[in-house]
Chain A
Amino acid sequence: MGKRSAWALPYFIFLVLFVVLPLVLIGVYALTDADGRFTLANMGAFFTDPKIINSFLVSLEVALENTVICILVGYPVAYILADKSLNRSAVTAVLFILPMWINALMRTMATAEIFNVLGIGLGKGTLLFGMAYDYLPFMIYPIYNILDKMDKSYAEAAQDLGASPVKVFLKVTLPLSLPGVASGVMMVFMPTVSTFAVSEILTNNTIMLFGSVIQEQFNNLMWNQGAALSFIMLIIIGVTTLIPGNKNSETVEGGATV
């Protein structure tokens, strides 16, 4: 038995080289200047440059709104898909992930073009619509997975004990499905903050999300400044995912199966 544990070694080395070291490098570049000397100036720019901090706040707002929209629209979809009395076909669930096979930028271009044809001006509204459209599958899938595997006898027991359907949902089904919602939130919130390209297309460059700011700095060869902004995002991700422990790993696992 002992020897086969060594089979994980190549992947471990790979992870150190291509995951750990690159993340360390983000920190190193963030805290040094172009000549490799230690500096806090790059990190400081986040708090002092109004353009950067504004774009960060706008991104948080858009991400929050997008996450709420995805939950409100996606939860009922997941619920209906997982309920055998409402939906008996496995094909319907597949239909919700199928669009992901068409290039996201291409779909976004088409969405923007539909708004043009309908005479709707590009801006915050169209951005939120397009974002929800892109990220909806990432919310539906983990919730669907957890609802689908949920032991139905809990809900039945509550029903037998006289709870109304609304009460069964609020007191049993909803709390049990929250880990699925949590991993959905993780797959929607931070990726929305860091989106670029999609936001450029959907707002005609009028709203710049944080991802676009980072990309712009790398485009302008300001690697240290770009690394600093990435480092700030990394810290936020670390704090938000490490605090609740590793509870979510299991639902991520569920969300990963086709």
Chain B
Amino acid sequence: MKTGGRIVAKAYLWLILIVIYAPIAFIAVFSFTEAKSLGNWTGFTFNLYHSLFTGATSNSEALLVALKNTVVIALVASLISTVLGTLAAIGIYNLSGRKKKTIQFLNNIPMLNPDIITGVSLFLLFVFLHITKGYTTIILAHVTFCTPYVVLNVLPKLTQMNPNIYEAALDLGATPMQALRKVLVPLLRPGMISGFILAFTMSLDDFAVTYFTAGSSGIDTLSTFIYSDVRKGGLTPELKPMMTLIFLLVLVVLLVVNLRSFRKQKQLEI
């Protein structure tokens, strides 16, 4: 009975995983053929990989620019979010009462709002303030929805920390800057890193907010690039090898990181 239940559970997990990964496998398989439409097999070839890297067609060149934009925007936005969010978390930790509640409530709003509301509201803000849409508006918008995740990842680290350590550093003659750099930041680093990774992921995956805050600036990220492809009725073929490579890269990184921490845990147990 017990082992029967375990088999059913395992089978269920695998079934869901197969369904979840089917579209990605589909993209990967059809990245090795040259046909324009996704489900069309016209023989095995590396041609799409080749034209992706050489930027042979004008579309594949625009695609590489979109990829670069996506990564740059995600990096800049999540770095700003990490600094802003960490400082905010330290501040919130030291606040109390109504002030603390207010800022925590405001911090929750971007996470609760659907993307389209965040996008529309920021669109109206930039219209209202007469700010021309471009990199700055996209990055500011991304910082808006990324920072709450940093705050929520750093705050628990502060509550777990012994508050006397920071005071001790000050008593022993460290300047507040030194105490921040040498004491606080190392203690908060795990929360800052997971906050950064989460912010980076949210930024990479965003479509709606970028769509509304890029306006007619002509700046494309992967999401808006794919969307305009969809509207035109066909995907740029080089997207298939690009997505396949991104997926493999992330898979390898995640497996390495997780297996390593898994091994560390095992060693500690022994």
Contact = CB atoms under 8 A, between A and B. Distances in A.
Nearest to B197: A258
Given A8-B95, A11-B88, A102-B247, A114 B114 contact: no
A194 B88 contact: no
A161 interface: no
A15 B204 CA distance: 22
B201 A101 contact: yes
A104 interface: yes
B12 interface: yes
A42 to B, nearest CB: 13
A237 B113 contact: yes
A136 interface: yes
Contacts of A10: 84, 87-88
Interface residues of A, number: 87
A contacts with B: majority SS: helix
A105 interface: yes
Interface residues of B, number: 91
A21 B125 contact: yes
B134 interface: no
Contacts, number: 242
Of A9, A11, A16, chain B has the most CB atoms within 10 Å of the CB of: A11
B94 A109 contact: no
Interface of B: 5-6, 9-10, 12-13, 16-17, 19-24, 26-27, 37-39, 84-85, 87-88, 90-92, 94-95, 99, 103-117, 120-125, 127-128, 140-141, 143-144, 147, 149, 151-153, 155-156, 194, 197-198, 201, 204-205, 207-208, 211-212, 222-223, 226-227, 230, 235, 239, 243, 246-247, 250-251, 254-255, 258-259, 261-262
Given A5-B95, A230-B117, 13 more contacts: A6-B91, A10-B84, A12-B106, A26-B120, A29-B124, A91-B259, A91-B262, A98-B251, A104-B223, A107-B24, A110-B38, A190-B114, A256-B152
